Amino acid sequence: MSNLSKEPSFLFGEDTIQYIQHAAATGLYDIRGLGAKRYLPSFDDLLFLAGSASRYPLEGYREKCTTTTVLGTRFAKKPIELKIPITIAGMSFGSLSANVKEALGLAATELGTSTTTGDGGMTSEERLSSKTLVYQCLPSRYGFNPDDVRRADAIELVIGQGAKPGGGGMLLGQKITARVAQMRTLPAGIDQRSACRHPDWTGPDDLTIKIQELREITDWQVPIYIKIGATRVFNDVKLAVHAGADVVVVDGMQGGTAATQKVFIEHVGVPTLVAVQQAVSALEEMNMKDKVQLIVSGGIRSGADVAKALAMGADAVSIGQGVLFALGCNSPTWIDHDGQHIDATEDYTKLETMPGFCHHCHTGKCPVGVTTQDEILEKRLIPEVGARRVKNYFKTLNMELTTIARACGKSNVHHLEREDLVALTVESAAMAHVPLAGTNWIPGLKEI
Amino acid sequence: MDNLARKNSDGKETLLFDLSQTTVRDMNQFLHHNLDKSNVSNIRIIHPDGAHSIAVGLEVPVNIEIEGHAGYFCAGMNKQANVTIKGNVGWSVAENIMSGMVRVKGYASECAGASGHGGTLIIERDASLRCGISMKGVDIIVGGSVGNFSAFMAQAGHLVVCGDAGDGLGDSIYEAIIYVRGKIKSLGADARIEPLTDEDHKVLAKLLALAGFKHDTKEFKRVASARQLYHWNADANQEY
Ligand SMILES: Cc1cc2nc3c(=O)[nH]c(=O)nc-3n(C[C@H](O)[C@H](O)[C@H](O)COP(=O)(O)O)c2cc1C
Ligand code: SF4
């Protein structure tokens, strides 16, 4: 037996020591892409109570189960009608390549769902390839153009993102090619800090008037969404509704990003599970449920996650990271025109990472050509190939969703309800306002 | 629609909108859809009474005169139109202007010309806080003074201030240029005073002439980016 003393510290574990020593050596904080990696209560902590003797299930593959989703019914003359309640989240051109933007548009169009622009404006590729395109109005207003406002199918006013509520955007110089720089009216090669506050309004009263301006410009035709990063969700949703939103998008702290400070990703905001519950409670308290639609995002991976979000009261979900993974993010290979898988592990090594662990979107050197502006790397993602993969992924999610809905006896996925769910842990029961499995106990709400 | 048409000497028409009789929504829809097919070259809007979103989202070269005070977002996202407000304006006049000209005869409240991408905004009296915030190519010429945090994160274009500037002028400025005739209370991060070049004198003289302000360009200081925050820097003491 060795006498080597190896008593690990919980407080100052290996990772923490490494973090402190990195900070000491460089004076830098970490910036990275994707979302929170730490454990957080999530939809995994909920389970469905499907049909049995007391509930009547529908036949798995045969009986109809509707997934049609209508968004923006409150004020817009032309609400958005989607075939599935699963949408593609706003991701900027700049963080993603033009090929990826085109792939997302093609996939969304084939699936009958929407895709969304991002910080940096609308590209012609995505407008041409997307039947239903949501145009983001962000604090930076990079490339913001009234012509694009007029050709959008909905406008999403972004107040915050789940990965970095209260923080602005960040696109490091290595991703700023001439095209990206031109769209953002800035010199190529410099780091771009997108503002965290809108330039032309500040408080909720101004927001009301801002929404009115956008409605006037679009002749009250298209829905106006408000996107918030999940923090004080209950109050923020109420303010968004009060300000006149048709649709509220709530992005939980598991949500992905192209680049932000790690301290933000891991320590700011509340989990999506909490966010959905608080958003739905706010809508219910205002008697606005089903009048204002709710889109939920932040860590949605599977059909089960979608079903749970809908059962808790969301009208649709929105996906970012899952889409990146479908496109090949963190895969050891990329796919060429002949369908061959080409090894990319060396490029992961150059980034000092490996497939399965990469979160290096901020570098612009994405080994599989997803989050890059590099002329060579971006060719690794062929729009048609990417579109097919995203389409397959969303189809799978939708099939899983309808499988669960049918098992719960619902002929429409929007009929899933909180009553269909139980919680596995006391904490998730309290956060989601769903009873702990085997009890009728919702901590903080009801006693046994 | 209660708008009255009158023939001008050039054969074109002037239309009158009375906002005590017509809603802003009806008027804006008319301006968006009926102008380019019409013979109208001039619009007069009376009784604006501080209404918000007057003449937003225009995209035709028409002359508009607003007889009185306008509320928030007046002439927002303007393209091509030439809008004159014979009064004061609320927040964010000509926000995200792309082209054309907006002239405010009176005072402007906060965020005048915010994120303007092109065109010209002239404010004959003072502008409040954050004038020219996030500007991206618009030229803003202010006859009086501007409030704190003006030209915050300004990316491109010119801000001319014939009076004084408040605290934090040009904070985190990129490639926009500011000319100030009066006192500058303080500069924001990465903004610095520089001597005017010959080119600056020419540009400034043109902008002053466009606005009809008679000042000697030699009386102005130039404020531009020191470009110290262009790259992420650990030694910048959290300023970036
Ligand atoms: C690469 C990338 C770029 C993003 N860019 C934007 C953006 O420009 N604007 C925005 O509102 N959100 C942006 N987001 C956040 C997404 O819109 C969405 O809120 C988030 O991805 C949802 O969580 P999920 O990634 O776990 O699905 C981005 C996310 C990623 C992964
Ligand atoms: S593989 Fe590409 S998209 Fe995925 S985390 Fe790495 S850099 Fe980002």
Chain B nearest-CA residue for A186: B155
pLDDT of residue A349: 96
Chain A nearest-CA residue for B111: A200
Where do the domains of chain B lie, and which CATH numbers do they carry? 48-225 (2.160.20.60)
Cα(A13)–Cα(A15) distance, rounded to whole angstroms? Answer: 6
Q: Where are the beta strands (DSSP E) in chain B?
A: 4-7, 13-18, 40-46, 63-67, 82-85, 101-104, 120-123, 136-142, 156-161, 177-180, 191-194, 221-225
Tokens representing A229?
């990063």
Tokens representing A433?
């306002």
Cα(A298)–Cα(A320) distance, rounded to whole angstroms? Answer: 8
Contact assessment for residue B85 and residue B93, using Cβ atoms and an 8 Å cutoff: yes
pLDDT of residue B237: 47
| Mean per-residue pLDDT over chain B, rounded | 93
Ligand 2 atom with the smallest distance to the CA of A330 is 1
Contact assessment for residue B54 and residue B66, using Cβ atoms and an 8 Å cutoff: yes
pLDDT of residue A352: 94
**Where in chain A are the domains?**
43-333+384-416
- If you search the block for the tokens 């005070």, which residue do you land on? B69
Cα(A377)–Cα(B231) distance, rounded to whole angstroms? Answer: 24
* Interface predicted TM-score of the whole assembly (ipTM), two decimals: 0.94
pLDDT of residue A195: 86
The binding-site residues of ligand 1, defined as CB within 6 angstroms of any ligand atom, are A 35, 89-92, 95, 118-119, 136, 158, 161-162, 227, 251, 254-258, 297-300, 319-322, 324, 361, 371
Which residues have CB under 8 Å from A267's CB, separation 6+?
A: none
Residues lower than pLDDT 70 in chain A = 1, 175, 446-448
pLDDT of residue B38: 84
Residues lower than pLDDT 70 in chain B = 1-4, 232-240
Please judge whether A200 and B240 are an interchain contact, meaning their C-beta atoms are less than 8 angstroms apart. no
A90: nearest Cα among A121, A65, A46, A44: A121
Q: What letters, b where the CB count within 10 A reaches 16 and e where it falls short, cover A132-162?
A: bbbbbbbbbbbbbbbebbbebbbbbbbbbbb
Contact assessment for residue A162 and residue A251, using Cβ atoms and an 8 Å cutoff: yes
A47's enclosing H/E stretch is strand A46-48
Task: Give whole-number Cα distances, A49 to A220, A396, B50, in Å.
Answer: 42, 21, 56
Report whether residue A368 contacts ligand 2, using a CB cutoff of 6 Å: yes
Residue B36 alpha carbon to ligand 1 centre in Å: 39
Q: What angle do CA B171, B174, B178 make, to 5 degrees?
A: 70
Cα(A160)–Cα(B149) distance, rounded to whole angstroms? Answer: 22
Which residues have CB under 8 Å from A384's CB, separation 6+?
A: A103, A106
Which ligand is located closest to the Cα atom of residue A139?
Answer: 1
Interface test with B, best of A31, A185, A186, A193 (most B CBs within 10 A): A185
Residue A399 forms beta bridges with which residues?
none
Fold held by A43-333+384-416: TIM Barrel (3.20.20)
Ligand 2 atom with the smallest distance to the CA of A369 is 2
pLDDT of residue B238: 46
pLDDT of residue B232: 62
